[in-house]
């Protein structure tokens, strides 16, 4: 299976409280990798951000197709979803580094249950129809300079039959008794 691993944004400076939108490639898409890179501040050893802090720096990750959410979750929920995908292990780099060392953490945004699957991935689209939108938290708890690297994995020869759609549903349970939660139904690939 041929694939194209491309960089959409390379070490782009990110500001707290910003919303950044990226156009995604037009070929069938297997998954997206989001890596946040930040400098460690050894002078404030008690305030060095651990990965639990870093997970909160992304308030929301959305993959939108013609304005409709294909993937929409908080940074923490998205990170957890990426951990359930076979053949992907999220990694944090340089957790025990010294002052001013670069550290990073990577999220996998899956559009398939099995990475690199030519039968299950997001289908071919037209330029501008498929976008990634990231909402960053304000402030970055115990963080300073932050950079984002966005990568995609395309499968140009794929003929997908389905793709994975993940969105967060919120329901406040009523006291006592049963609660019904309406689940969304699938969407056909046209």
**pLDDT tens-digit series, residues 47-89:** 566 788 888 999 999 999 999 999 999 999 999 988 888 878 7
The mean pLDDT value of the chain amounts to: 87
Check: CB of residue 33 under 8 Å from CB of residue 147. Answer: no
What dotted CATH number matches 4-160? 2.70.9.30
pLDDT of 147 reads: 94
Of 92, 134, 132, which Cα lies nearest the Cα of 111? 132
Query: 15-52 in b/e burial notation, b at 16+ Cβ within 10 A?
Result: eeeeeeebebbebbbbbbbbbbbbbbbeeeeeebbeee
Where residue 103 falls among pLDDT bands split at 50, 70, 90? confident
pLDDT of 1 reads: 79
Helices vs. strands in the chain: H and E counts, helices first: 2, 10
pLDDT of 109 reads: 95
Check: CB of residue 173 under 8 Å from CB of residue 51. Answer: no
Counting residues of the chain whose pLDDT is more than 70, the rounded percentage is 87
**Residues 6+ positions from 172 with CB-CB distance below 8 Å:** none
Kindly list the domain boundaries of the chain, sorted by start residue: 4-160
Apex 69 CA angle, 68 and 72, nearest 5: 160
154 SS3 class = strand
Gap between the Cα atoms of 190 and 147, Å rounded: 37
Gap between the Cα atoms of 107 and 55, Å rounded: 9
Confidence check: pLDDT of 190 > 60:
no
pTM: 0.87
pLDDT of 187 reads: 65
Residues shown for the chain: 190
């Amino acid at each position: 299976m041929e694939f194209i691993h491309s960089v959409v944004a390379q070490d782009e400076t990110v500001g707290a409280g910003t919303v950044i939108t990226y156009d995604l490639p037009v070929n069938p898409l297997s998954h997206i990798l989001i890596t946040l890179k930040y400098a460690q501040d050894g002078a404030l050893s008690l305030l060095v951000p651990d990965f639990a802090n870093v997970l909160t720096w992304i308030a929301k990750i959305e993959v939108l197709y013609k304005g409709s959410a294909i993937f929409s979750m908080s940074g923490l929920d998205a990170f957890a979803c990426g951990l359930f995908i076979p053949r992907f292990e999220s990694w944090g780099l340089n957790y025990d580094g010294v002052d001013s060392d670069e550290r990073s953490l990577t999220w996998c945004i899956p559009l398939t249950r099995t990475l690199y699957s030519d039968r299950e991935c997001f289908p071919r689209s037209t330029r501008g129809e498929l976008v990634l939108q990231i909402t960053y938290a304000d402030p970055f708890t115990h963080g300073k300079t932050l950079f984002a690297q966005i990568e995609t994995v395309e499968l140009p020869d794929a003929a997908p039959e389905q793709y994975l759609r993940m969105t967060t549903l919120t329901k406040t349970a009523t006291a006592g008794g049963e609660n019904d939660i309406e689940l969304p139904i699938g969407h056909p690939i046209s």
